[in-house]
Structure 1
């Protein structure tokens, strides 16, 4: 009981930071939740070392279900979700996330850690060196092809425990979708990735951990409730802070932090 309460409190602090950064920089919380929660679970010895990464990823995805819903509702009210393409994008990421979450549970811990570390390095690189303007307009693929492309992004997102915005927004921007519309579509996709990814992690981990120990599959409830209890409220504060803080500087610092996290994860 004491361990669960300690983890809940620490995850509430983590949720505050994640929610604020999500609102300030428009990034998903999984990039921070997964490595920090992995360290907390190892420190408190809540789960075996061989399952700690999967528990962190599954719990991260479950928390993103709440934050993405809040974000998507706001974007929908502002007419920032392009519903003429959103179903194709959401269908693709749903299938990818569901299949990936089952597959990740079969991989050795070191493989999952390696995939997460490399993915974070690439995302950090894009944050540091992304161009402000698109070079050329590119025609958006037709529905089925678009779904096939986004299925790969949904699969990677679910495997590393992120909402997918870091992958989907640049993709849609590349195909000449307005940035606000791209972010709105990504927020809606975050719900689908988190939902279907969580279902996969719950199903594949159902016989690994017991509900009486605080688990639903690979999702650890005390950590989930801790993160959600604060991240939901801090995201709007972070969004308002964009008008007062040097976001570009903070984004570069954050990207540098991601590089350190990724290298540490790869060397562990």
Structure 2
């Protein structure tokens, strides 16, 4: 592993951490395409670069979610009553979803990610606030478990912590936006934990072709490099957000997401042989 690659990981972590703190978004939608680029440049097995990018992205959430949740909990914003069943479902969903993702070919996985990020960017541009009623419209414990499982399964396919699903879902069902964001951040930990276990197990079948320092599909140096700088820069982004209007920045960020989605769609086409 060269120093340029390590420096790139640290820079990527700093950028995604700052963006997460500034705009309240998860870093997965940034990490996956950039890690895919970097892993491809490092000549990692092309049939597994997207799987490794998704697994690595999700694992970093184990570190970044802790500091975020502590801050939200200090303000009493995390709805732990919702996290209990949503979180268990999220863990199960990513654990099982990782096994499914390992069977999906790189072009299809790239296509899924590209479509999902395009949709997320569109939603960011048209986001509207909902009236809060405390979450009275949410289903019972079994329903919450089912929703959490679905969120976890989708997260395992796109490498994001589920915020772009959890936040709209909770706010749509009457939970205040502040509590929705905080609860979504707390959901990141069980989702990442399920992904860690799931992608380690799923990657064992390919251990002979994956690069050194990999744990299943998870590339250890990338987790360490991005997590360290992300944790350091996320609070800076959060502090910056309080002193400026970020509505215009969200438009710029949505444009970046469209570009990254385009790259992943190109990756899907190129690895499937459509561009050859």
Q: Name the TM tier (shorter chain).
A: over 0.9
Contact kept? 2:199, 2:216, Cα under 8 Å: yes
Q: Determine the structure 2 residue equivalent to 1:166.
A: 164
Q: Determine the structure 2 residue equivalent to 1:85.
A: 82
Unaligned runs of 5+ residues in structure 2 are 268-276
Deviations 1:48-103 (Å, cap 9, x if unpaired)?
10000001111101111100111112212221111222201111111111110111
Q: Determine the structure 1 residue equivalent to 2:178.
A: 180
1:119 to 112, 116, 120: 116
Q: Determine the structure 2 residue equivalent to 1:61.
A: 58
Q: Determine the structure 1 residue equivalent to 2:126.
A: 129
Contact kept? 1:30, 1:163, Cα under 8 Å: yes
Unaligned runs of 5+ residues in structure 1 are none
Q: Determine the structure 1 residue equivalent to 2:98.
A: 101
Q: Determine the structure 1 residue equivalent to 2:26.
A: 28
Q: Which runs of 4+ in 1 moved over 2 A?
A: 132-138, 209-212, 243-246
Q: Determine the structure 2 residue equivalent to 1:156.
A: 154
Distance apart, 1:134 and its partner CA: 4.1
Distance apart, 1:212 and its partner CA: 8.1
CA distance in 2, matches of 1:155, 1:230: 27
TM-score normalised by L of structure 2: 0.91
Root-mean-square deviation (Å): 1.7
Q: How many residue pairs are counted as aligned between the two chains?
A: 265
More divergent stretch after superposition (142-151 vs 162-171): 142-151
CA distance in 2, matches of 1:134, 1:44: 48
Within 5 A, what are the aligned runs for 1:184-199? Answer: 184-199=182-197
Q: Determine the structure 1 residue equivalent to 2:271.
A: none
Contact kept? 2:132, 2:175, Cα under 8 Å: no
Contact kept? 2:130, 2:174, Cα under 8 Å: no
TM-score normalised by L of structure 1: 0.94
CA distance in 2, matches of 1:20, 1:172: 24
Contact kept? 1:7, 1:223, Cα under 8 Å: no
Distance apart, 1:113 and its partner CA: 0.6
